Amino acid sequence: MGNYDPAAVYEKGRSRVFAYEISDNSCLVEYDEEPPHDVNNEALLKGLAVSTALNCRTVDALEYMRKIVVDGSNTSGFQRTAIISFGGWVDTSRGRVRISTVCLEEDSARKISDESAEVTYSLDRLGIPLLEIATEPDIVDGEHAVEVARQIGDIILLSGWSRRASESIRQDVNFSMGHGRVEIKGVPKLSAIRDCLSYEKDRQSSLIEISEKLGEAWKNGIKFTDVTELFAATGSKVIRRSIEAGMRVYASLLPGLSGYLKNGPYRLGRELADVAKLYGSGGIMHSDELPGYGVKDELEPLKNILKPGSDDGFFIIVSDESHIGIIGREMNSRLSKILRLDFSETRYADAMGETHYLRPLPGGERMYPETDIPIYEITSEMIAMAREIVPKTREELTAELSGKYGISKQEAMSILVNNLAGFMDEMASVTGNGKLASRLLLQVIPDLEKKASVEISMEDVKKLFNALAKRSAVKEEYERALELLILHSMPVDSIIVSPEMKHVEVDELRKAIVALFEEGVSDKNLIPRLRASVKGIFDPSTAFKIFRDISGKQN
């Protein structure tokens, strides 16, 4: 229609190269070498069931749209998405929160590495059916946001339909203080929602204060001067390495910004550094933190070139010559928006709950109709089928799991919230003992992972349990095998034939206990001492019986 999406224009200006790694589950559609196939009926049916759980109204037909995405995460340059329902709600402790839309779309490619100039993606996730659930602005604060996200997430997780990987559910959080909407992408976990909202509130409050104080003081903008020669013999290792790599050093005056670049934990300097990093620079070094980073002798000559006034700040940036022009334009745009109190943009959250600039906020210009997928009617039969598989509530599933395996409701709840219900079914089937499977999943494995500081693959655990089941293993065998797998990184095939997995004969066990008794062992430390001195599996109850027998005879 003659309009350009600002996010697309921004990504185009970065001129990055994208590399893709193929996988066993990718095909010509993911390579963008073949038209899309039919709508995934299973995904649609499950999406309709989730919509029912969210009290949504179903559309009469799916009409797919293309959403321009040019950051490389979609090989086609767009993402296909369709609204399947709308107008729903969830009831929370703070009132009803409306659900605006539920969309069925294709997931993006998974980013493997980002070297600024080149980004590598894996195609193993691209095209997987993805549900996008959007709420209306009814959420009142960070705690409420966590509650709503958990309530919606429960419907997905407890259904057992989502992938078990840690990134299978992702939250995008929208925030506004009346100065434009900020979209925070990819908040990694529920607790981080509260943290990033708190950070964003403080960040914007700080920028409002800075904007009010500056007024018209900043008006000439950022103008870069090449000062590479000034740093020819610099003591800064960072700058010296960059110059040797062919980069240049630039400096710019920041009129009226002295003292505002490092304003508590929320620095204006960070706002400019975030822009620089997106174009391959390591960031900036500004006057509020200099001397520092090995920059000392160059300060006075630098001031003679820039001629800052008493209220002026300045900064240094190391950049590729081809990018410095667009970095300057983006920084000027950013400062101008801050002074206009226009904070609308897309940001991302890091592991610490802090947010960083990602790109301009996309607009409606990036949406247009998909012509490769026909309009798809949603029949009354499909809606009836979806209603039959609506996900159960947490309370219903907890009671069901507890009754099925004879475990406590607390254990059942832990299995559900840790997304272990599927593994619980498999492990209980293999071991033939629900209580044992629950103990191994909730206590033994997490404790061993903590000791070893590793996160074990559940596929390895399944392989191990299947091998143990063939020899009718008992509880002690499962626990010892897990120790060898997690603490000693032993392959499953080696564990099964390991001497430590043999059963200790009663006579051998008695001899070991007699030796320990003579050393003064007590019933409190008998089992750990015995495990340290005897190779193999033994029944603790048998060991205690022998110990009491020996103790009685000695008395």
Pull the structure tokens for residue 404: 């099925």
Kindly tell me if the per-residue pLDDT of 555 is higher than 60.
no
Could you report how far apart the first and last alpha carbons of the chain are, in Å? 97
Note the pLDDT tens digit of each residue in 223-261: 999 999 999 889 899 999 999 989 999 999 988 888 888
Q: What 8-state DSSP symbol labels residue 114?
A: E
Alpha-carbon dihedral angle through residues 225, 231, 235, 240, given to the nearest 10 degrees: 90
pTM, full prediction: 0.76
Kindly tell me if the per-residue pLDDT of 524 is higher than 80.
no
The per-residue pLDDT for 219 is 66
Conformation bin of residue 376: beta by default, left when phi > 0, alpha when psi is -120 to 50: beta
Kindly tell me if the per-residue pLDDT of 488 is higher than 80.
yes
How many Cβ atoms from other residues are within 10 Å of residue 24's Cβ?
A: 5
Pull the structure tokens for residue 233: 């013999």
Residue whose C-alpha is closest to residue 504's, from 529, 540, 479: 540
Q: Domain segments of the chain: what residues?
A: 6-181+364-369, 214-340, 394-501, 506-554
CATH 3.30.1360.30, applies to 214-340? yes
Alpha-carbon dihedral angle through residues 68, 71, 77, 81, given to the nearest 10 degrees: -50
**Dist CA 56 CA 64 (whole Å):** 19
- Confidence at 57, pLDDT banded by 50, 70, 90: very high
- Confidence at 94, pLDDT banded by 50, 70, 90: very high
Taking CA atoms, 545 is separated from 80, 181, 526, in Å, by 67, 69, 12
